[in-house]
Amino acid sequence: MSLLLKLLAQRIALGLLLLFLVSILIFAGTIILPGDVAQQILGQSATPEALANLRRDLGLNDPPLQRYFSWLGGLLQGDLGTSLTSGKDIAESISKRLGNTLFLAFWAAIISVPLAILLGLIAVRYRERWPDKLISAVTLASISVPEFLIAYVAIFFVSVRLRWAPSVTTINDSMSLGEKLHTISLPIAVLTLVVLAHMMRMTRAAILNVMQSAYIETAELKGLRMFTIIWKHAFPNSIAPVVNVVMLNLAYLVVGVVVIEVVFTYPGMGQFLVDHVSKRDIPVVQACGLIFAAVYIGLNMVADIVSIVANPRLRHPK
């Protein structure tokens, strides 16, 4: 166990270093982009005087390095700063958006992960027979079609024609949980279709790999039911690669769904980040970037730990 703790500490330290590097990259990236926040705020209506006044107010005349370090200093004290464009507290405005993103990701994951694994198990059980082929064909087709196209098709049939679920999924605090879930049912469905194939294929491949082993044959000879063999004997031994892929897809559900957010007008982090990148609002972009990076690093860490815990050979290295 002490080995595990040591590993955990190592991973966390490495993660923090990565986050630091990410913050430098993001800052450099936004500095390189043409135009600054003052120009972007005033747009076509920018006059030189208005620009100069706004730049002075926003502190854009300080050298970039100084701005970066004052931001970093604030961050280390737990202060994300204030947005350059709206002047609001960043932590406050992000927390609402992050909450929305996690809400959508959570419900999409709750449906898609068990469904993907179940479909994977079924595919192995009926390998090379029609259920396997049907599952593969449908999930591969849904991952091959661009997500915005699936979304538009879903909107056309489900929202416009049948009027079963809304196409504009702007949720707000005055809604009950049931109303919220009904509102976001379409994006959940589309996201499920998008992430299903990857997880299902990996489950199928990993289990099939194990199915060649001698102990599976033993189990078969003992007369166990095929599904019991897969669930009880094969699946636990193939959990590591499955968890890896599941975590990658969870990370995608949090950080990669900006297209879905735009199509369904969902107030999540993706749209929030895009808005601020196009306005060159560096502190907000930094904060979003760090959160996204932290989600990725964190989920990958979870995947590593789960695969170590699940594999005695990794738990007790020689």
Q: What residue ranges bind other proteins (CB under 8 A)? A: 33-35, 39-50, 53-54, 57, 83, 85-87, 93, 97, 152, 155-156, 159-160, 163, 166-168, 170, 172, 262-265, 267, 271-272, 275-276, 278-279, 281
- The residue (of 101 and 271) whose beta carbon lies closer to other proteins is 271
Q: What is the DSSP letter of 60?
A: T
Residue 2 C-beta: closest distance to other proteins, Å: 46
Residue 264 C-beta: closest distance to other proteins, Å: 7
- The residue (of 120 and 268) whose beta carbon lies closer to other proteins is 268
- For residues 69 and 65, give the distance between their C-alpha atoms in angstroms, rounded to a whole number: 6
Residue 101 C-beta: closest distance to other proteins, Å: 13
- The residue (of 53 and 213) whose beta carbon lies closer to other proteins is 53
Task: Name residue, tokens 């609001």.
Answer: 88
* b/e 87-116 (16+ beta carbons within 10 angstroms → b): eeebeebbeebbebbbbbbebbbebbbebb
Q: Spell out the alpha helix ranges (H) of the chain.
A: 2-32, 37-42, 48-58, 64-76, 90-125, 130-144, 147-154, 177-183, 185-211, 214-222, 226-228, 239-255, 258-263, 269-278, 282-310, 312-315
Distance, CA of 248 to chain centre? 8
Residue 287 C-beta: closest distance to other proteins, Å: 13
Residue 45 C-beta: closest distance to other proteins, Å: 4
- The residue (of 35 and 146) whose beta carbon lies closer to other proteins is 35
- The residue (of 60 and 207) whose beta carbon lies closer to other proteins is 60
Q: Strand, coil or helix: what is 89?
A: strand
Residue 50 C-beta: closest distance to other proteins, Å: 5
- The residue (of 95 and 278) whose beta carbon lies closer to other proteins is 278
All residues at 6 or more sequence positions from 227 whose CB lies less than 8 Å from its CB, including other chains: 121, 125
